[in-house]
Amino acid sequence: MAYDVLVIGYGPAGMVLSALLGQRGRRVAVIERYAGLYNLPRAATFDDDAMRLLQKLGIAESVAAGTRVQRTYDWCNADGEVLIDNEFSDFGASGWPEFNMMFQPVLESELDALCRRTPGVEIIRGYVATEFRQTGDGVEVVAQPADELGRVAGTPHGKARTFAGRFAVGCDGGNSKVRSGLDIKMDDYGFEEPWLVCDFRLKRDVDLPMALQYGDPDQPTSIISLGPHHHRFSFMLDQVVSSAEAVDPDEVWRRVSRWITRDDAELIRAAPYTFRSTVAQEWKQGRILLAGDAAHQMPPFLGQGMCSGFRDAHNLAWKLDLVLQGATEDLLETYAAERSPHVRAITEKAVELGRVQTVRDKQAARLRDEELLRRKRSGRRPEGFRFPGYSEGFLAQASPDDSARGQLFPQAWVGHGSGRAQRFAEVSGAGWVLVVRDPSALAGRDDDLVAWRAAGGTMVMLGAPAEERAEAWATVDDVDGAYQRWFDGHGCASVIVRPDWYVYGSAASPDSLRNLLRSCLSDLRPVVPEAKPRTASRRLAPADRRPVQGDVHPAAEVMSGPASWSTHPPHNERNETCGSQTSPDVPLWRTARSPSTSSRRAAAGSAPAHRRSSTGGRSSGPGQTSSTGRFRSCATRLGSPTRISARRARIRGRCSPSG
Ligand SMILES: Cc1cc2nc3c(=O)[nH]c(=O)nc-3n(C[C@H](O)[C@H](O)[C@H](O)COP(=O)(O)OP(=O)(O)OC[C@H]3O[C@@H](n4cnc5c(N)ncnc54)[C@H](O)[C@@H]3O)c2cc1C
């Protein structure tokens, strides 16, 4: 078999999956219909989990250099009154800024460069995958030469090629040929709305909202930064229009005239998009799987489409790797069992938010605005939305004592050795990790620990006193107390973390730790029969020291509207059931409010640079209801609240009809 895995489609999901597999030493062929990179943005922002994954891939710093941290996200009404003012942290639960604004081609060229330099990854461009065959022990994919528009070009352009691999993964986007070839149906969440997305390259500094949802029922509009040099304006359309109709530059300039002029920026594209909400009913047939938009499409109101594709790739990569090492293929059944409910929950929330954000009926919009302003004045915050963990899948046996099972393990700052504070993954490595905060739980556990290490697991001890420090453990100082809070919140003393940062299971007592370890080893044993013993994480080979990452997000908070909003009158002939759709790109959730601005500032002022926050962000468990740390760090970098309100006042002036 020439390849371990055939990846169809070299968008963000295909790139991340290929790189992860390549870094695990797998032979990957990734087939892409276009000869070059797409070079235009779709996604505008990505979250801290996505950045944690880029950290694992070794490109977080270089990607971060081309992004802009998203610190605010406001909703305002047609008069420019701010209805909701979200502020985000520079240090979310996954150890990176909660939102990162980017120009997608910058991210894709970093991922492309990574794939190109990763041994084992072969990129086959200019070929359209057209046929997919399951064979006795693998998959064959037939690909035809493509023309410059990515269509099958016909024989003058060359011959069809056939690729053979043990597995194939369709990362071929929303119109997935792999999915339709397998006759996989989609569940439709009923959201389908046309928007016009207009992207600009800035010629000079312009005072624009970083992320604003302008809830004018006459023209719902989204404005968002695409990193340091680009900005996006998106307009909800009343009906589907062709590209030719939508792309009249004069019309686009008229739409944006109150914000920017031709002296400020260059229009680089205007494209109509229809936002949909669908999830595949099956994510795997035989040895062919789906990931990214091929498996799900969601409206971009939570900024989670690409991020979800990253999570798919991350979840799948370590499982495919284990199966290729000899694990039973049943392991791959846990892929959809984990990812599908996660994506469905986010899709439902994105749809709900979209409908609230883009009310077209004036009376309903007025009710929405009044309610939001009333809540704002009374200091009531929007109710929380908690990203789900996993409840089914490759996890320890469910137990009432194990509240951390299936949750995202956070990444916070840790001290290690005498060096600077580091992100947790820089110490723990990229594989299975046993994290313990009570050394006494390990008494008499030597055999289990030897077996754990032999299975490839690493071990991290939190804040152990010097005399307890064992050679086999990486002992770290819980710099901000973030892990203490997390463990307290979950009522546990030790935890086993999977390679994708989800918790396999946790234990509160020495006995339950013994059971947990044995259960995990037993689950892994048939999976990694030939795994070579490794030493503690501090001694891992360079490839294993790639930073880790995780997936679950709790505790984002979002607006949930009063009953009157959910019965939107028709806004046009096409859509008779809901009068709204919101802007693309903009994550709608908000974080919990910290007690007061002054206390945030005080906390920020007292925190050393490497301690800007705790795990903050989307809280990673009970007891971390979101984010003192998040707001503390936010205040650190945001600058003075006066500056923010001055900026908001300027924006308001431009939103309001008289402005
Ligand atoms: C306006 C807009 C705003 C968005 N904002 C956000 C955001 O802020 N945050 C976020 O996380 N997400 C956002 N999204 C969603 C995000 O852009 C997508 O989820 C993401 O790009 C999907 O990545 P993918 O790799 O799964 O698919 P794609 O990016 O569609 O890549 C699929 C690749 O497969 C190739 N291909 C297709 N068929 C074949 C074939 N038969 N053979 C070979 N190659 C093939 C295609 O050429 C393409 O390169 C937004 C989307 C839109 C449209």
**145 three-class SS:** strand
User: Ligand 1 centroid to 564 CA: how many Å?
Assistant: 35
Q: Name the more confident of 71 and 565.
A: 71
Whether residues 37 and 158 share a domain: the answer is yes
The answer on pLDDT for 480 being more than 80 is yes
Residue 251 lies in a domain: no
Whether residues 314 and 429 share a domain: the answer is no
Task: Say how many Å lie between the first and final Cα of the chain, rounded.
Answer: 66
The reported pTM is 0.84
Burial 528-540 (b: 16+ CB within 10 A, else e): beebeebebbbeb
- Please state, as a whole number, how many other Cβ atoms lie within 10 Å of the Cβ of residue 437: 20
Whether residues 446 and 322 share a domain: the answer is no
Whether residues 173 and 288 share a domain: the answer is yes
Q: How many domains does the chain have?
A: 2
pLDDT of residue 589: 25
Residue 79 lies in a domain: no
Q: Name the more confident of 528 and 416.
A: 416
Residue 452 lies in a domain: yes
Counting from 1 in the atom list of ligand 1, the atom nearest the Cα of 129 is 42
The answer on pLDDT for 227 being more than 50 is yes
Mean of pLDDT values over 277-286:
98
Whether residues 311 and 439 share a domain: the answer is no
- Pocket perturbation via mutation, ligand 1, pick of 49, 172, 233, 343 by most ligand atoms within 8 A of CB: 172
| Phi, psi (degrees; rounded to nearest 5) at 71 | -105, -20
Residue 48 lies in a domain: yes
Please tell me the distance from the alpha carbon of residue 525 to that of residue 538, in angstroms, as a whole number. Answer: 24
Q: Which CATH number fits the domain that encloses residue 460?
A: 3.40.30.10
Taking CA atoms only, the protein residue closest to ligand 1 atom 29 is 11
Neighbour order of strands in the sheet with 433-436: 422-423, 413-416, 474-477, 458-462, 433-436, 494-497, 503-507
Q: Tell which of 293, 327, 361 closes a domain.
A: 327
Whether residues 302 and 424 share a domain: the answer is no
User: Where is 365: in which H helix or E strand?
Assistant: helix 362-377
User: Ligand 1 centroid to 179 CA: how many Å?
Assistant: 15
Q: Which of 296, 268, 117, 271 is nearest to 201 (CA)?
A: 268
Residue 215 lies in a domain: no
Counting from 1 in the atom list of ligand 1, the atom nearest the Cα of 178 is 41
User: Ligand 1 centroid to 13 CA: how many Å?
Assistant: 8
CA atoms within 13 Å, Cβ hemisphere of 477: 13
Please tell me the distance from the alpha carbon of residue 613 to that of residue 626, in angstroms, as a whole number. Answer: 12
Residue 655's pLDDT band (cuts 50, 70, 90): low
Residue 562 lies in a domain: no
Q: Exposed, middle or buried, 161 (CB in 10 Å: 0-12/13-18/19+)?
A: middle
Residue type, 192: E
Whether residues 419 and 309 share a domain: the answer is no
pLDDT of residue 41: 84
Q: Tell which of 496, 530, 545 closes a domain.
A: 545
Beta carbons of 270 and 555 less than 8 angstroms apart: no
pLDDT digits (tens, 9 = 90+) for 588-641: 222 222 222 233 222 222 232 333 233 333 433 332 323 222 222 222 233 344
Residue 401's pLDDT band (cuts 50, 70, 90): confident
Whether residues 25 and 146 share a domain: the answer is yes
Whether residues 305 and 451 share a domain: the answer is no
Beta carbons of 219 and 205 less than 8 angstroms apart: no
User: Where is 494: in which H helix or E strand?
Assistant: strand 494-497
Q: Any idea which of 98-112, 231-245, 360-374, 590-604 has the lowest mean pLDDT?
A: 590-604
Whether residues 165 and 303 share a domain: the answer is yes
Whether residues 316 and 456 share a domain: the answer is no
Residue 381's pLDDT band (cuts 50, 70, 90): confident
Specify the DSSP class assigned to residue 301.
G
Radius of gyration of the chain (CA): 25
Q: Which of 116, 55, 99, 140 is nearest to 411 (CA)?
A: 55
Beta carbons of 44 and 89 less than 8 angstroms apart: no
Q: Which of 204, 269, 265, 203 is nearest to 234 (CA)?
A: 269
pLDDT of residue 619: 34
Q: What are 341's two structure tokens? A: 């409910």
| Residue range of the domain that includes 11 | 3-67+102-185+281-327
Task: Give the dihedral sign, CA 481/482/487/490.
Answer: positive
| Phi, psi (degrees; rounded to nearest 5) at 239 | -155, 160
Cα-based distances in Å from 399 to 84, 405, 623: 39, 9, 19
Mean of pLDDT values over 261-279:
95
616: region left, alpha or beta (phi > 0 left; psi from -120 to 50 alpha): left
Residue 270 lies in a domain: no
Whether residues 38 and 149 share a domain: the answer is yes
Residue 625 lies in a domain: no
pLDDT of residue 557: 25
Q: Which CATH number fits the domain that encloses residue 128?
A: 3.50.50.60
Q: What are 585's two structure tokens? A: 């790109």
Residues with CB under 6 A from ligand 1: 8-14, 31-34, 38, 42-46, 128-129, 150, 171-173, 177, 197, 273, 292-293, 300, 303-307, 309, 584-585
Counting from 1 in the atom list of ligand 1, the atom nearest the Cα of 15 is 25
Counting residues of the chain whose pLDDT is more than 90, the rounded percentage is: 64
H-assigned helices in 405-543: 424-428, 446-454, 482-490, 510-524
pLDDT digits (tens, 9 = 90+) for 313-334: 999 999 999 999 999 999 999 9
Beta carbons of 455 and 528 less than 8 angstroms apart: yes
Q: Tell which of 484, 514, 545 closes a domain.
A: 545
User: Where is 422: in which H helix or E strand?
Assistant: strand 422-423
User: Ligand 1 centroid to 11 CA: how many Å?
Assistant: 6
Residue 356's pLDDT band (cuts 50, 70, 90): confident
Q: How far is CA 424 from the centre of its chain?
A: 19
